């Protein structure tokens, strides 16, 4: 299958973070599904398929949203898959996400405890549902404040669908460019610089045009070697560019 240039750029953005005989971890680029999406074309590529073609059969342990970048782990054998799945199910995996939010929180740290129900409407959104929702807890800490935005760290205790996005929107700080729980508006340099100028025939490209969420770190005990592993994924270019320009304001 011939790949489009956009897909080629995505695959070039996949970086290996860790590899042994039991598991493999990579820094997933935004825009690439973690696993095959049945809603897409049969030949549409995904990270799991792409890695399996290069490293052999891989077992899915957890997933990241298509527009979320960062650390993702796959098992390389059935035993590792069972052990890793138990770690995730029993909340023995320490997860850290970084997000750019719209608005500037006055608080430094906050715990958001609100039950969530997934796939609750026609847009397949997750909603807060006290009666039918599943328990969901997210610990949030402000890392940096800008004029109209902030960089926050989110540590989810649970792993509900869209948990961080919903919880932050609930307290009034939706993720930048989030089309489901925010306004979905990309961040442009022209919105940050008063003296910004571009050529009349040049279309301005956004600094970041996808939900500004990055899976920054995973820490867990190796299921076979029983040693602690900490995996960190550097920010992708769009996330870093947005923070750089926000920091100048």
Catalytic residue set = 65
Q: What are phi and psi of 73, to 5 degrees?
A: -120, 140
Residue 153 · residue 165 · CB < 8 Å:
no
Residue written as tokens 């599943």?
134
The Cα–Cα gap between 128 and 143 comes to: 26
Quick check: helix, strand or coil at residue 229?
A: strand
Residue 204 · residue 198 · CB < 8 Å:
yes
Whose CA is closest to 154, among 222, 223, 99, 228?
A: 99
CA dist 91 → 157, 158, 188, 214, 223 (Å): 7, 7, 38, 19, 14
In the chain the first and final C-alpha atoms are separated, in Å, by 45
Residue 67 Cα to chain centre, angstroms: 7
Q: What are phi and psi of 80, to 5 degrees?
A: -65, -35
């Amino acid at each position: 299958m011939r790949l489009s240039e956009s897909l080629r750029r995505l695959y070039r953005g996949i970086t290996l973070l860790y590899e042994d005989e039991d598991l493999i971890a990579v820094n997933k680029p935004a825009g690439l599904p973690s696993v095959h999406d049945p809603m897409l074309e049969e030949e549409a590529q995904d990270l799991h398929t792409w890695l399996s073609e290069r490293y052999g059969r891989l077992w899915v342990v957890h997933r990241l949203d298509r527009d979320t970048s960062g650390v993702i782990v796959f098992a390389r054998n059935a035993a590792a898959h069972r052990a890793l799945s138990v770690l995730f199910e029993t909340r023995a995996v320490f997860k850290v996400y970084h997000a750019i939010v719209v608005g500037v929180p006055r608080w430094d740290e906050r715990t958001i405890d609100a039950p969530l129900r997934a796939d609750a409407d026609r847009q397949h959104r997750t909603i807060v549902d006290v009666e039918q929702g599943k328990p969901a807890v997210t610990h949030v800490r402000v890392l940096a404040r800008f004029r109209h935005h902030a960089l926050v760290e989110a540590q989810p205790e649970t792993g509900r669908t869209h948990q961080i996005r919903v919880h932050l929107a609930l307290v009034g700080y939706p993720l930048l460019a989030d089309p489901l729980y925010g306004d979905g508006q990309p961040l442009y340099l022209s919105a940050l610089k008063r003296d910004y100028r571009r050529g009349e025939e040049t279309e301005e490209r956004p600094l970041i045009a996808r939900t500004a969420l990055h899976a920054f770190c995973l820490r867990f005990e190796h299921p076979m070697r029983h040693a602690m592993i900490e995996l960190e994924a550097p920010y992708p270019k769009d996330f870093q560019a947005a923070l750089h320009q926000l920091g100048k304001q």
